[in-house]
Structure 1
Amino acid sequence: MRRAERLFRLINEMRTRGISRANELARHLEVSVSTIYRDIAHLQASGLPIEGEAGVGYLLRPGFDLPNVTFTYDQIDALAVGLSFVERTGDPVLAAAAREARAKIQASLPQPEERKLSDAPFYNIQNRNGATPDMALLREAIRKREVVEIAYKNGAGKQSDRRVRPLVIWNLTDGWMFSAWCELRQDFRTFRFDRITSLTLTGEEFVQDEATGLSAFMEMERCESREH
């Protein structure tokens, strides 16, 4: 790893950790503790607002922003894969956002004529079971933590009315789905978008607590995956 890239990753890691110990940073970056000491000393000498000392820990004071940086070829490929996927979701809002993001990233590259995101050899061609108009509403509800009301048909065609707290959207082989805390069942449930006959935002905000929030749902998913 080049030193410039290591310093960039070190700063990003310190921004997310709060107080950071040198041995933890060394393990994350796969370098020696002495290398971390030298890097932090270099950053402090360069004017970065890093407080602390060896043996105690370091803290990067809030409010520091990194300047624009270049992307490696692997990072450009990763962006190309993600943007290509988003453009093929069937959600016109997300597709437009992906195209705009590609243009912004492309313009920020130091030599945009030589490293084009649009030329990266990765494409997503799956276009069956695309996003429905309800997905935009669900994304808004997840962002605002807003309860939604849905009319939903199960596999047998029986319809029920639900009030749910949406947590996460999935794209699987069978199509688009979302998982939520269902107030009717008092449990987590996953719903297929193609079985929703109506969806309405209620304007009621919910709180993601330890029992009904996204972290609890993901932990349940991890436990079930280990059992299988």
Structure 2
Amino acid sequence: MRKADRLFQLVNLIRHQQPVSAATLAEQLNVSVRSIYRYIDDLSVTGMPIYGEPGIGYSLQPGFELPPLHLSAEELDALQLAVTIISRMAGREIADAARSLSAKVLASLPEERRQPESALFSYATGLSEQQKKIWDLLKQAISAEQWMHIIYNSLQGATSERTVYPLGLFYWGGKWTLGSWCALRKAYREFRVDMIQQVNYCAPPLELPETINIKTYIQHQSASEKLLNMKSSVT
């Protein structure tokens, strides 16, 4: 990454997280804390209104706005392709948000760059309208930290009903799965979104343990995958 791009990224990170520590910025940019100090000095020399408070972090002076975007052709291609894929492969709300974001970015570009011609296309089979509706409801439940009652068809054709606490939606290159805490099994469970027939909000059937969250779910899944790999190597 060019230094100018890294400095631009640094300003964006400060603007969205202020006040933010040098250690946090270093971790997000994958550089040393000493490099962050050097970048801040470089920005200050250019007149960038960044100020730091010991023990608190860096902030920008109120009212500061970044100059108009200057995106490369590759960046515009990536944006347009991402919007196309999201509009087909995710829920309606997030697809609308992606198109809105794309429109805002393109509107901020110089006039001659607002109608980019891309040679990248995606015609992957997307979600059905019913699946998009379910996807949206699941995402809303995750944001609202709301228990849900689902009717689910397994790959073997069996229909079951579960009360779950949804934690995250995961895309596996063709299929979405819902990562959740299952009240019946009292354990983490995954459900393919295209196999969920119906979803409804419901009252919590039990008190959710404090340790149940998306971070511990991902750790659990990673540990389970390593165990399966170990068993496979032994057999």
TM-score, structure 1 length as denominator? 0.75
What is the match of residue 51 of structure 1? 53
> Which structure shows the higher helix fraction?
2
What is the match of residue 8 of structure 1? 8
Q: How does 1:174-189 map to 2 (within 5 A)?
A: 175-189=175-189
Q: What is the root-mean-square deviation of aligned Cα atoms in Å? A: 3.7
> Residue 147 of structure 2 contacts residue 163 of structure 2 at CA under 8 Å; is this kept in 1?
yes
What is the match of residue 124 of structure 1? 122
> Which structure shows the higher strand fraction?
1
Q: Give 1:138 shift.
A: 0.8
Q: Give 1:18 shift.
A: 2.8
TM-score, structure 2 length as denominator? 0.74
- In the aligned structure 2, how far is the partner of 1:207 from the partner of 1:82? 39
> Residue 130 of structure 1 contacts residue 176 of structure 1 at CA under 8 Å; is this kept in 2?
no
Structure 1 residue 61 corresponds to structure 2 residue 63: no
> Residue 50 of structure 2 contacts residue 61 of structure 2 at CA under 8 Å; is this kept in 1?
no
- In the aligned structure 2, how far is the partner of 1:207 from the partner of 1:80? 43
What is the match of residue 113 of structure 1? 112
- In the aligned structure 2, how far is the partner of 1:189 from the partner of 1:125? 31
Q: Give 1:226 shift.
A: 4.2
- In the aligned structure 2, how far is the partner of 1:19 from the partner of 1:40? 16
Equivalent residue in structure 1 for 2:45, among 34, 42, 45: 42
How many residue pairs were aligned?
221
Question: Structure 2 vs 1, CA of residues 207 and 47 (structure 1 numbering), >3 Å: closer, same or farther?
Answer: farther
Q: Percent identity?
A: 23
Q: How does 1:1-228 map to 2 (within 5 A)?
A: 4-14=4-14, 15=17, 18-20=20-22, 24=26, 28-29=30-31, 33=35, 35-36=38-39, 38-39=41-42, 41-42=44-45, 46-52=48-54, 59-61=57-59, 66-73=65-72, 74-89=74-89, 91-109=91-109, 111-114=110-113, 116-117=115-116, 119-128=117-126, 130=128, 132=131, 133-173=133-173, 175-202=175-202, 211-227=211-227, 228=229
Alignment-mate amino acid for residue 70 of structure 1: L
